[in-house]
Structure 1
Amino acid sequence: MWTHRSWQGRLLPHPLPARERLRHYAGWCNAVEGNTTFYATPGRETVATWAEQTGPDFRFVVKLPKVVTHDRRLTDVDQPMRAFLDAIEPLGARAYALWVQLPGSFGPDDIPTLARFLRRLPAAHRPAVEVRDPAFFTDPRATRLLEATLAETDAEWIPFDTTAFFTDPPTSDAERDAWTKKPRMPSRVVALTDRPIVRYLGRDDPARTVEGWRRWVDATATWLREGRSPTVFVHTPDNADAPTLARRFHDEVRAQVPELDPLPEPIPAEPTTLF
């Protein structure tokens, strides 16, 4: 997501042509979750505009289409995968990872299917898998099985940490909506590859969000010192302040790892004036 109604006129200029929105978002953050590709595979022309609006080091973590992961559950997906990989080709190296988000019903017994799917992916693409069956987190045998399968293709395991969100009952409409929709996932602070990816869900209260991400600041700093290149996505139920929170997270990591490059300077939401 690189546009949000509550950002318009506050963080991003408004009105802003569709072909300019990603460019302005990229002034705030240097990575984005490509969640829209889950619902429909975009045209190559559209994806080409994404590449035009971002620098060569910008990271897209692009989610595989729903028809691949949920409808067909990674089986008989040659045609939709060919169409998807062709569509994102204009991104080049910006396609940092293929985000394989699996449904909660995809459990340890389905690991052979995942293994076959990952082996068939082109070597040019790095997969990152998000699982939602609790057994992968609570059953040591299932954990080891998944880790071994991912290791075969240098695939990462994406944790979706919702523990901070579910600590206390919701206090806003956005939180109440998320309370019924988001999975209650355990926290898993483990990197399998040199490119760990983290998804973190906080609260609409920024202070609560910051309080809940402490473990991730420490983990990210540790990974950087180990020579890894982590990517962290910060969410809240309403996402109203997500870009500013993401920058604050980055600043807290830089306080521990000063050699980490700063994020780019945002393009002003309003033109500067003399008065």
Structure 2
Amino acid sequence: MDFGKVENEDISQVDFRLPPDAEGTGTILKRNKALGHTPQIFVGCAKWGRKDWVGKIYPLKTKEADFLNHYAKHFNCIELNATFYRMPTFSQTQGWAAKVGDDFKFCPKFTDQITHIKRLKDVKEKTDQFLEGVSGFGKKLGPLFLMPHPGMAPKTLDTMEAFIQSLPKDLDLFVELRHPQWFSEADANTAVFNMLERNHTGSIITDASGRRDCVHMHLSTPEAFIRFVGNGLHPTDYTRIDDWVQRIKAWMEQGIEKVYFFMHQHEELHSPELSKYLIQQLNKHCGTQIPEPVFVEDIAPVADLFGAAPSDKKTAVKKTASKKKS
């Protein structure tokens, strides 16, 4: 993922501190707390088709056809970017759903034919096709991920709202805003978050090094959808995760209902390591019991026929965690 990327030598210059919650976030959470929901937390990555995860979290010699099945043993959701590049079909998503457990959630991204080529105008046919396709997920369908074209500025607010209102009301929907004017212009900022709130639509928070404006900390529903973009297990990746864990803990105390946290790296090879660290810290500080990803190197060695066991090796998670503490 290249969004918000900065050069390695510039990372130490970035102010990664999370801003305070936006005005209104606390009110939304307090209102929801009265309903007594038990918070749910989902952690996942953006894709499962990573050949470089074979020997890392996928067993050696795992076939590509089995990647999803193994991915779902480590994570309870996925930010499904594949549907952005190719229109999903019912049979395809039904097949994917059959490979995961009952509690797993797919969070598909609207196809670029709708968001980028047509920019949300005159897209009823394509939208119906997309919704038919993702319906194959059944009860395993999580929130839909809508990213309007980055060129869609505040002047397109009416277009965005009309599209959102055209969707079935029982869908869980989150929107990611990328045009800088949504954040730099106070009136536009107020207008778009008011629009999302009145349409019961979530606002995606994207934490990337080069776009700190997208870390807006504004929840328009009692659910959070966080896209975290790390920098190759740089020490700041871990301190940033620590800050997020504390913010999520505060939101849980205030009444948040669901948190979807999706791990990205500019090189996705390292997403499982940071995901494991995130889950460890959530379990430690937030009282959750989320199963940790299990690395191939973490599996206890088995003695061979002559009684010799493979040499003990530290996992990448242990190495990088120790680097963080240094």
| Identical-residue share of aligned pairs (%) | 22
1:1-275 correspondence runs (5 A) = 1-163=47-209, 166=210, 185-225=213-253, 226-258=255-287, 260-263=288-291, 266=294, 273-275=302-304
Given residue 156 of structure 1, which amino acid in structure 2 is its aligned partner? G
Please say if residues 104 and 131 of structure 1, whose CA atoms lie closer than 8 Å, have aligned partners that are also in contact.
Answer: yes
* Alpha-carbon distance between aligned partners in 1 of 2:284 and 2:292, rounded to the nearest angstrom: 17
Given residue 200 of structure 1, which amino acid in structure 2 is its aligned partner? F
Q: Report the equivalent of 2:14.
A: none
- What is the TM-score of this pair, normalised by structure 1? 0.86
* Alpha-carbon distance between aligned partners in 2 of 1:161 and 1:264, rounded to the nearest angstrom: 22
- The C-alpha deviation readout for 1:197-256, integer Å capped at 9, x for no partner, is 000111113423112233322222222222421011121111212122112112212222
- What is the TM-score of this pair, normalised by structure 2? 0.73
* Alpha-carbon distance between aligned partners in 1 of 2:132 and 2:154, rounded to the nearest angstrom: 31
Please say if residues 206 and 245 of structure 1, whose CA atoms lie closer than 8 Å, have aligned partners that are also in contact.
Answer: no
Deviation at 1:152, TM superposition (A): 2.2
Deviation at 1:56, TM superposition (A): 2.1
Which of the two has higher C-alpha Rg? 2
Q: Report the equivalent of 2:23.
A: none
Please say if residues 27 and 267 of structure 1, whose CA atoms lie closer than 8 Å, have aligned partners that are also in contact.
Answer: no
Deviation at 1:146, TM superposition (A): 0.7
| Larger displacement relative to structure 2 (150-159 or 16-25) | 16-25
* Alpha-carbon distance between aligned partners in 1 of 2:112 and 2:147, rounded to the nearest angstrom: 9
- The C-alpha deviation readout for 1:42-75, integer Å capped at 9, x for no partner, is 2222211211111222121110000100111111
* Alpha-carbon distance between aligned partners in 1 of 2:95 and 2:300, rounded to the nearest angstrom: 24
| Larger displacement relative to structure 2 (9-18 or 105-114) | 9-18
Gaps in structure 1 of 5+ consecutive residues? 167-182
The aligned length equals 256
Q: Could you say if the C-alpha distance between residues 53 and 62 of structure 1 is closer, same or farther in structure 2, counting changes exceeding 3 Å?
A: same
Please say if residues 178 and 214 of structure 2, whose CA atoms lie closer than 8 Å, have aligned partners that are also in contact.
Answer: no
Please say if residues 223 and 258 of structure 2, whose CA atoms lie closer than 8 Å, have aligned partners that are also in contact.
Answer: yes
